[in-house]
Chains A and B, each alone.
Chain A
Amino acid sequence: MSEQIDLQADLPLREPTFFILLSLSTTPKHGYAIMKEVEVLSTGRVRLSTSTLYGALKRMLDQGWIVRFDESAATAADAHADGPEPPILPSDDSGRERKAYALTDLGQSVLGLEIDRLRALVSVATQRTAGALS
């Protein structure tokens, strides 16, 4: 309960934060994949610059909402684990170190709470305006 209350203090989320969490809710992703996914999810309305993206990622890392890992480490860890196939991450032709981001349980909770909050808002608004708009 107290954790819930603490998480409530972080709400409402800013739009870029919400979309970044949402984009990571299915599979871990690289920075560029997150950028593209956010653009798609927001139907082109939110276009992140790299500065905004990594500023937000850093904040979320510090808050423990997401984790960052090497592609190779994740692949190796998954190879030893019984479970679903590891997510296929885009490869990097330049050979530079690739990092991916994944949602933690805490991040999942925050996203869930925000979705509940938005759902409640929409529900209230729908009820209130149902008569007026119909």
Chain B
Amino acid sequence: MKLLITVLPFVYRLGLRLYPRAFRRQFESEMRLVFDQAMAAAVARGHVAILLLGYREIVGLPRCLLRQHWLARGTRPPVIQGRAQESAMIQGTDPISPPSPQPEPASPSRRPAAWRDALLAAMPHCLVALLFGVLGALGATAGQNSSLQSIADTGTAIAGIGFAVLTTMMLVWAARLKWPRWAASWYFYGLAIILGLILLVVQSVTPPWERWTEGYRAIVVPLVVVFVLFWLAQRDRIQALLIALPLMTVLWYPTLEFVPTPIRLPLTTGTWLLAGVLAGAIVRAGDWRLGTWSAFGFDLGVGLLYAYARTYLKILPASAPLHWLESPDLMDFLDTFMPAFVVGALLLVGPLIIQALNGSTGRQLGRARTAARTGYWLFVFSLSLCLASTLTAFWWMQRTWPGFGATPISAAAYGGLLLGGAAMAIIVLVLYSERSGERFSRRATTGVLLLGLMLLALPLVLALGMSFGWSSLPASMTLGFMQPHEHRLLVYTACLAWVLLGCWLVTRFSDDGDFNLRLRGAWRGIGSALLGAMPFIFYGAYTIAHELPGVPGIIPLSILALLYGLVLIGLAAAWLRGFPRWSFVFLGFLVAITGSGLVYRLRFLVDWSVPGLGPVSTSPSAGWPAWIPLVLILVLVIIVTRTLRPLKDLLSATARDWTRASFALYGTTHWFLWATLDENHHPYLVWGYAMIALAMAGGAYVYLILSTTRQRMLGLLAGLTVAWTTAAVINAGYWIGRQELWMREPVTARAATAPMILGWFVLLILFLAPWLPGELRRSMQWLRPG
């Protein structure tokens, strides 16, 4: 029992850590105090009382946690409200009236530092430059002289150990000073030491170049680095810039392979020296906007020099392939420059974008913070996997030629994660724009949308390479993931645009959460409109991936699984928000997915061996497990909300506006369209699917963005008609004159088109059925005299 008395408070405090931050700030110390008092009373009463107290606290915790986390989303941190009420109480004002909004404490955008801090920030890079210069010159002079070479090697080892010791000491000192800004320059080296030591351990337990070592290098290291960058950017943007500088420098290093030492040595020494000077200047000036542009310029300048040296000044070994010996041109230069430049810029701009999204705006919007972060992690993880697949492909190439290119597993994982990241980013976009639409101006909403799009754009641009079947470059090409291709200039241009626009966007943010963008546009309602269109885009992606030759089967199935997840999340969100208009299309999708047999295709997720019971489908494999996630989601939202009122809202909203039922029906139409194209193998089928998805998404978008019932119905009908016509044209083009084995005669034009026209009429009637009676009644009232 003594153990219980010791452990219970510990467990309780751990549990308290799980509450939302704002809740903890407001109540944590008080809850601990109350618990301690209750514990003391229970100890006085005996063992049973202690057990009962522990039981009560632990059993009650999960539900309260869930509820508080849910309530914490999308609301202003309660601590502000609580403080406002407290001050109102103390000042004698009315505590019940809503407290006036209190802006988040603004962090000054410009905090100049002392020269000493600037020198401390510059010191590590300058020391590295010195070591590189001296030891590199010694090594170059030594040449074949073995005694000089051994002196150089010993000097390198001693200098390395000495630098590691110095780094450790500086970090300890920084910790005692509560991590001042200059310390970020040393973080990189501290991180390098830790990661290097772990690598030594990994290598010692596995043979060199085996999978674990490569996995560690290609996945763990990039993720750790990105985590540190992200974390620092949240704390202080200047610290993130300081750690990005050496990282960008290191990214350029592989480019110098085959560059002769007399050129390489001054380049590397100069680069580290420049990094040191820049770090000192950034700390001294204390202006993160200026720092961002400086770091960007540094990366650009260094990259251009390194890429030039690699392209035009290299000396290739005799064993080099013949095509390497061809005279280089501008495209060779760009092929060397762009991949590393984009990766470096991503490291620089990505965390700043997230900081901007999650900063003062994110704190106020609350709701999308976690989603933004998760979306970013997924992006970063997908990029890391891309790099990993490049490395894996390189080692495969060495062993089993022609296994050059991303392996199927890594490509599938990469694709899945990328799409997951994209989906998450879309959700973030919608949430942000919706939330910001309520509280901020159009300019603010535009800024949020642009930032979100920036987050989404680069990984998708990089994914183009995969989409077009380009394989990966070997690892020696500086983290290259774009195979030289005739259209690569387009990709490079898009990447450059991303970098420039990203830098501009993140530096346009002020620190008080205001967006200083001067763009105009009617963005109101765009969030929910995009949300309503999203399932069609996902479904279009699934059908396209399903039809594209050479795409691993896991990709379309992953997209379908994502769509199912999206629909379920949408359903939960709809329940919590009283079934707003956009959610009706999700209901349609839900019916189509769970009931149509599409879930049969998701059987790879679990071993669904239970046959039958598909509620709508005739497929024997669409079993009841398909409904489990739906039931779980419903149970969860009912537990959280503890009400069935949303169902009432759903019915009353439908009764008020019957076009909502039409919109739900619209959500099932994609399945009919897909069914009409069964067995169709037209060469343009993929383009047809794209067109259908866009048309359907456009119809949903128009329905949600417009305000009058007639306009909405016209939008839906337009979307349906374009999609249906596309399907009809593709069917006609493929089937007319064709005779399959099971056909008695070739398909006539009439046989190919008549069912499609009939189908369109049936759907038209179904669509209009909920809306037409009400419309007729209104028309009659309008015609009635008086």
Given A32-B37, A51-B57, A64-B95, A58 contacting B26 (CB threshold 8 A): yes
**Contact assessment for B34 and A35 in the assembled complex, using a CB-CB cutoff below 8 Å:** yes
Task: Point out which of B37, B67, B82, B92 has the most chain A C-beta atoms below 10 A from its C-beta.
Answer: B37
- Interface-forming stretch among B83-91, B218-226, B706-714? B83-91
Q: Once the chains bind, are A52 and B60 in contact (CB under 8 Å)?
A: yes
1/0 contact string of B9-33 vs chain A (CB within 8 Å): 0000000000000010011011111
Chain A CB within 8 A of B497 CB: no
Cβ-defined contact, A77 with B90, below 8 A: yes
Q: A32-B38, A64-B96, A105-B96 are in contact. Are A54 and B30 (CB under 8 A)?
A: yes
Q: Knowing A50-B38, A99-B30 touch, does A68 contact B60 (C-beta < 8 A)?
A: no
B74 within 8 A of A: no
User: Which residues of the partner chain A approach B26 to less than 8 Å between Cβ atoms?
Assistant: 58
B77-108 interface with A by 8 A CB criterion: 78, 81-82, 85-86, 88-90, 92, 95-96
Determine the chain A residues whose CB is within 8 A of the CB of B30 once the complex forms: 31, 54, 97, 99
When A58-B78, A62-B78 are in contact, do A51 and B90 touch as well, CB less than 8 Å?
no
Determine if A51 and B64 form an interchain contact, defined as CB atoms under 8 angstroms apart. Answer: yes
**CB atoms of B67 and A55 under 8 A apart:** yes
Query: Which residues of chain A from 1 to 34 have a CB within 8 Å of any chain B CB?
Result: 30-32
Chain A nearest Cβ from B36, distance in angstroms: 7
Q: Assess whether B96 is in contact with A53, with CB atoms less than 8 Å apart.
A: no
Contact with A96, one of B29, B57, B81, B89 (Cβ below 8 angstroms): B29
Which one of A31, A52, A64, A68 lies within 8 Å of B86 (CB-CB)?
A68
A31 touches which of B31, B56, B57, B61 (Cβ 8 Å) = B31
Asked if A94 is at the interface (CB within 8 A of a chain B CB), the reply is yes
* In the complex, A70 has a CB within 8 A of chain B: yes
CA distance A106 to B85 in the complex (A): 14
Contact A70 B38 (CB under 8 A): no
Kindly provide the distance from the CB of A55 to the nearest chain B CB, expressed in whole angstroms. 5
A113 contacts the other chain (CB 8 A):
no
Instruction: Count A interface residues, CB 8 Å.
Output: 32
- In the complex, are the beta carbons of B31 and A104 less than 8 A apart? no
Q: Considering only CB atoms, which chain B residue lies closest to A81 in the complex?
A: B92
A129 within 8 A of B: no
Distance in angstroms from B60 CB to nearest chain A CB is 4
Do the beta carbons of A69 and B86 come within 8 Å of each other? Answer: yes
State whether A50 touches B34 (Cβ < 8 A): yes
B470: CB under 8 A from chain A? no
Q: Check: A61 CB closer than 8 A to any chain B CB.
A: yes
With A and B bound together, what is the CA distance between A50 and B34 in angstroms? 7
Residue B624 CB within 8 A of the other chain: no
Alpha-carbon distance between A54 and B89 when the two chains are bound, in angstroms: 20
Once A32-B37, A50-B35 are accepted as A-B contacts, the answer to whether A61 and B81 lie under 8 Å apart by CB is yes
Q: Is the CB of B90 within 8 A of A61?
A: no
- A32 partner residues in chain B, CB cutoff 8 A: 33-34, 37-38
B33, A58: Cβ atoms under 8 Å? Answer: no
B39-59 contacts to A, CB under 8 A, are 56-57, 59
Could you tell me the distance between the alpha carbons of A49 and B8 in the complex, rounded to whole angstroms? 14
CA distance A117 to B440 in the complex (A): 42
Q: Whole-angstrom distance between the alpha carbons of A68 and B36 in the complex?
A: 20
Q: Which residues of A contact B90 (CB under 8 A)?
A: 69-70, 73, 77
B64 with A61: CB separation less than 8 A: no
- A window 88-132: CB within 8 A of B: 92, 94, 96-99, 104-106
> Which residues on A sit within 8 Å (CB–CB) of B92?
77
Closest Cβ of chain A to B33, distance in Å, is 5
A-B contact pairs, 26 of them (CB 8 A): A31-B31, A31-B33, A32-B37, A35-B34, A49-B56, A50-B38, A50-B57, A51-B61, A51-B63, A51-B65, A52-B60, A52-B64, A58-B26, A58-B68, A61-B81, A64-B85, A64-B95, A64-B96, A68-B82, A68-B86, A69-B90, A70-B90, A73-B90, A94-B36, A97-B29, A106-B96
